Amino acid sequence: MQLHSISLPLKAIIMRETHKGSCLCGTVQFEIQATFKKFFFCHCSHCRKGTGSAHGSNLFAFDADFTCSAGEEAIKSYNVPSSRHRRSFCESCGSPVPTYDRENSFIVVPAGSLDTPVSAEPTAHIFMGSKANWDEKLEDVTKFDELPK
Ligand SMILES: [Zn+2]
Ligand SMILES: [Zn+2]
């Protein structure tokens, strides 16, 4: 017990990060204090529909504080019926924003909604069995720094 009372607060200070984020139109502005435990690229069909892309890129934390400095009332949520899949978004621009369970301090943060750098390294690609048929060797596709001429 004695050891824990010394080591735990120190660990919390080192690992808990503060982040700022916003939606595409700027209506929703938020701040998060959390220790991100997982950073998943999820290729399931719900995440593909919900993002319109190859995968969701979500950070997960179980010790999160989440505060909105603007636009809290613009955050809408959708639960996929008979699933645990829930996505939150700005009602003005549709951008994904964090889904927060205040009671359990649990948060799912779409990494692209953050305006601050993410130090957590991606944990894994998950639900690869559900990936899109064009989601194949994407790292090998020709790259341009900007829109090609
Ligand atoms: Zn917005
Ligand atoms: Zn998913």
3-class state of residue 127 by DSSP: coil
- Average pLDDT of the chain, as a whole number: 93
Q: 77 - beta bridge partners?
A: 88
pLDDT surpassing 60 at residue 103: yes
What's the sign of the alpha-carbon dihedral 31, 146, 143, 45? positive
CA–centroid distance, 65 to ligand 2, in Å, is 23
pLDDT surpassing 60 at residue 1: no
pLDDT digits (tens, 9 = 90+) for 20-76: 999 999 999 999 999 999 999 999 999 999 999 999 999 999 999 999 999 999 999
Q: Could you state, in order of their start, the residue ranges of all structural domains in the chain?
A: 16-133
Residues with CB in 5 Å of ion ligand 1: 23, 25, 27, 90, 92-93
Domain 16-133: which CATH number of 3.40.800.20, 3.40.50.20, 2.170.150.70, 2.30.30.240: 2.170.150.70
CA–centroid distance, 48 to ligand 2, in Å, is 7
pLDDT digits (tens, 9 = 90+) for 107-139: 999 999 999 999 999 999 999 999 999 999 999
3-class state of residue 32 by DSSP: strand
Instruction: Estimate to the nearest angstrom the gap between the alpha carbon of 43 and the chain centroid.
Output: 14
